[in-house]
Structure 1
Amino acid sequence: MAARVLIIGLNYSPEHTGIAPYTAGMARALREEGWDARVITGLPHYPQWRVHEGYSHRRAAHEEIDGVPVLRVPHPVPHDAGQLRRLGMEIVFGLRAATAAWGDPDAVVVVSPALFSSAIVRVRAALSRTPVIAWVQDIYTAGLTETGAASGPVARVMRGIESTFLRSCQGVVVIHDRFSDYLRREMAVPARRISTVRNWTHISQTPSVDTDELRRRFGWGAGDVVVLHTGNMGAKQDLANVAAAADVAERTGAPLRFVLVGGGHQRPQLEELARRTPRFEVLPGVDDETYAGLLRAADVLLVNERPGLKEMCVPSKLTSYFTAGRPVLAAVEAESPSAAELDAADAGIRVAPGDPEALVAGALQLHEEWIATGGVTHRGGRRYVRDVLSAGAAVRAFSTALRALLPTETTAPAAALHS
């Protein structure tokens, strides 16, 4: 009988940005490898913070996505993504996931964030003596403190909860070695329980859309140097800095056009800025093929983070950026995981965050180097994806972490054992 793995996470397909593509991709790959992988997830809502059409707030529903059995449990979705409302959403999701029918899994994988739903599920697993892996995509409390959402006693309490939860799990999977170092140093998670499984690219290597046509479709002229930021529009992205850079470009005559694609709770404010800021525009989310084409149609791909972010996350957009083969500009702290990734991939340059003048200068420098060398510079991203960020390597590493938790009498899938 195939080893049974239950994956529980708030975000899943059809969401196509953030954590969801990785949870869905891993569940699908594990089933292909011979695991009996099943999923309990929430209502699709990210990054728009609005439930997708056709999904009910009132009842649980079963569906199958790419061969994976999925149970969706209902929960509230806050429209403003405030911390207290998000906490309420997590708790409701966690309670409904914990009280749903699990079957009899050999192991449970919980995806964090969301931390509180994961902690609730951990209690249910402990009662049934089911081993748990926490799959850490962001360090929850580091994010709260670095974005200013929590400090002082509140931050210490939250940190204690996260530390206790992670130390209670039989295994912890992180997406970067920097996270592993942080969990050992700051949260006393034993090193023997931590595995690093890198996120992989999930966009098409060869999109079918015509990039020249895309530029015309969105009104980008031949002389426009398009600086494209994709994904969530929230506090940690600090995208008002990008609007300020567009204003600098307008005043100085720089041929830059700053474009945001995606959604998030700060999108309305950014759309208002776009209405009064030349060279700055906000586009809606697009399908996967158009997204892959847009990355290749742009001249520079942008990661922009709030000043002070040094520990909390590795933007999932970087894997897609590297695959696109375009130069990457990162307005991030020098000590951040994003900066480390950019340097390791040799895929672009870093400038100081929160400095619109530096953002403009960096974009111009990067584009000028790219043109002067015929696109030879900053081309390491695709090689890095092939050597470090492949889906196959991620599945093998995750399978290894899962097998370590299986009861001795349970047989792991042969495909996973011999991959």
Structure 2
Amino acid sequence: MDTSSAPSTRETKPRWSLIGPGIVVAATGVGGADLVATLIAGSNYGYALLWAVVIGCLMKVVLVEGAGRYTLATGHTIYEGWASLGRWTTWYFAPYIVIWGFVYGAAAMAGTGLPLASLLPFLPIEAWGIISGLLGLALVWSGRYGFFEKVCAALVGLMFVAMVMAAALTVPNLPELATGLAPMVPDGALFTTLAVAGGVGGTITLAAYGYWVREKGWSTESHMRVMRLDNGVAYLVTGLFVVATLIVGAELLYSANIAISEGEQGLLDLGNVLEDRYGAAAGTIFLIGFWAAAMSSLVGVWNGVSMMFADFLGHVRKLPEDHVERGPHGTAYKGYILWLTIPPIVPLLMGEPFYLILLYGVLGALFMPFLAITLLLILNSDRVPGRWRNKLFSNVLMAATALVFLVLAVQQLRDQISGLL
């Protein structure tokens, strides 16, 4: 565990230099598909769904703060909290992390390969994706959190600069932007609104926050304040990033009635629009930012979810929580990184089997409701010291978040099944 930057228990004011795990989890959660969903929302509805971006950030702040609060208040990992609720959590999590990791590995490598193949077309998407996956493996293999955090910060900087540059080029209409803060749902846009809110930095890596907090060296209740500051700043940055994405959709696409593709292909379409409108340099900078967004998600999962797997497997093996095999320096951690990188090369090259896509969609859609509901159960029980349990405000927000994700899960499952049958 990296404790070099941990504050002392006597420290009363957290230093800005300590902020880090929140930036990692927030950046990791914003993938290419999420950006395209926000772009399309801006292109279809202008600034009308800006308020949903703000609500989305608040929902993630609540969930990530809950995961961090549980870890600091109890000294246990989030998986230990899930396991305390009964065997049903393991029955869900075990197949989820295995199947999800395999299919996500292929999707993440394809996502990183897409912009690189456009920037450097002498290799195909698949080749660049495999190179990015192997690079991610090399960057996180040692399990050194300090180095990993610096890599993520650099990638966040690239993606933030690229999207903010694109937003600035469009010269946003600030008065009209402000009107988007008034909650309203355009006709026929309920699920789009929920998807925009739910897609602001939300994946399995939200649950990995507690592991990154521990690796940062924050391990006791005395670190609660700096954890909350870290989480708040992280989602402020994420919110600004997603708002910049919505601005691009509203100003560049909505005003000119330009449509882009769904999925990460839509970001390539946007790069072409920027190049046509503002020159080759603008398109190139944006594609670099696109790659950074995809790569930050890949690297974050390669590290964070691998730690979750190591902790899960160590629990199953009844190893003590502080055992090396339950952390980023054990064989389980490295084994899961290999699982994310090597076997997914096959579906990346050959196409994903039908049954894996279906299982991935089902399990993936249910993870965020699973996280929200289990946090509600854990943080309202005697598993957590009384002063760190949920208060009324936290319960209302967390319950609302669980409801939103349940509705999204049902809709996503319907779309997934209807699209494959």
Q: More helix by proportion, 1 or 2?
A: 2
Q: Answer 1 or 2: higher relative contact order, Cα 8 Å, separation at least 6.
A: 2
Q: More strand by proportion, 1 or 2?
A: 1
TM-score norm. by structure 2 comes to 0.29
TM-score norm. by structure 1 comes to 0.29
